Amino acid sequence: MSETTDKTRCLIIGSGPAGYTAAIYAARSDLKPIVYEGLQPGGQLTITTEVENFPGYPDGAQGPQIMEDLKKQAERFETDVRSGIITRVDLSTRPFKAEADDGKTIFAETIIIATGASARWLGLESEKKFMGQGVSGCATCDGFFYRGQDVAIVGGGDTAAEEATYLAKLCKKVYLVHRRNELRASKAMQHKVFNTANIEVIWDSIPAEVLGDESGMTGALIRNVKTGEERTLIVTGFFVAIGHSPNTEIFKGQVELDEAGYVITIPGTTRTSVEGVFAAGDVQDHHYRQAVTAAGTGCMAAIEAERFLSSNLT
277-279 vs 135-136, strand pairing mode? unpaired
Active-site pick, 10, 138, 171, 299: 138
Q: Is 280 found in the same domain as 222? A: no
Same domain, 115 and 141: no
- Classified as helix, coil or strand, 151 is strand
For residues 187 and 110, give the distance between their C-alpha atoms in angstroms, rounded to a whole number.
Answer: 43
Q: What is the pLDDT of residues 217-268, one digit of tens each?
A: 999 999 999 999 999 999 999 999 998 889 999 999 999 999 999 999 999 9
Within 8 A by CB and 6+ apart from 306, the residues are 25, 26, 29, 31
Look up the domain containing 306 and give its range: 5-119+244-311
Does 248 lie in the same domain as 107?
Answer: yes
Question: How far is Cα 165 from Cα 189, in angstroms, rounded to an integer?
Answer: 9
Residue in 142, 171, 282, 299 annotated catalytic: 142
Out of 240, 257, 284, a domain closes at: 240
Please tell me the predicted confidence (pLDDT) of residue 300.
Answer: 98
* 105 vs 5: CA distance, rounded Å: 5
Rounded-to-integer distance, Cα 183 and Cα 123, Å = 22
**Catalytic residue check, 6:** no
Could you give the dihedral angle defined by the CA atoms of residues 179, 181, 184 and 186, in that order, rounded to the nearest 10 degrees? 140
Ranges of the chain whose pLDDT falls below 50: none
115 and 9, same structural domain? yes
CB atoms within 10 A of CB 44: 24
Beta bridge partners of 279: 113
The answer to whether 171 is a known catalytic residue is no
CA angle 273, 34, 52 (to 5 degrees): 85
Q: Which of 208, 240, 272 is the last residue of a domain?
A: 240
Co-location of 75 and 137 in the same domain? no
> What per-residue confidence (pLDDT) applies to 223?
97
pLDDT at residue 44 in the model: 75
Q: How many domains does the chain have?
A: 2
Pair (100, 165) in one structural domain:
no
CB 135 within 8 A of CB 210: yes
Asked if 142 is an active-site residue, the reply is: yes
Write down the catalytic residue from 10, 141, 171, 299: 141
Q: What is the pLDDT of residue 279?
A: 98
Residues 139 and 188 in one domain: yes
pLDDT for res 119: 81
Give the span between the Cα atoms of 295 and 285, in whole angstroms. Answer: 12
Q: Both 136 and 62 in a single domain? A: no
92, 104: one domain? yes
**Same domain? 111 vs 130:** no
- The CATH number of the domain where 179 resides is what? 3.50.50.60
State whether 10 and 95 are in the same domain. yes
Domain identity same for 37 and 64: yes
Q: Of the candidates 218, 240, 262, which is a domain's last residue?
A: 240
Residues whose CB falls within 8 Å of the CB of residue 249, separated by 6 or more in sequence, listed in order: none
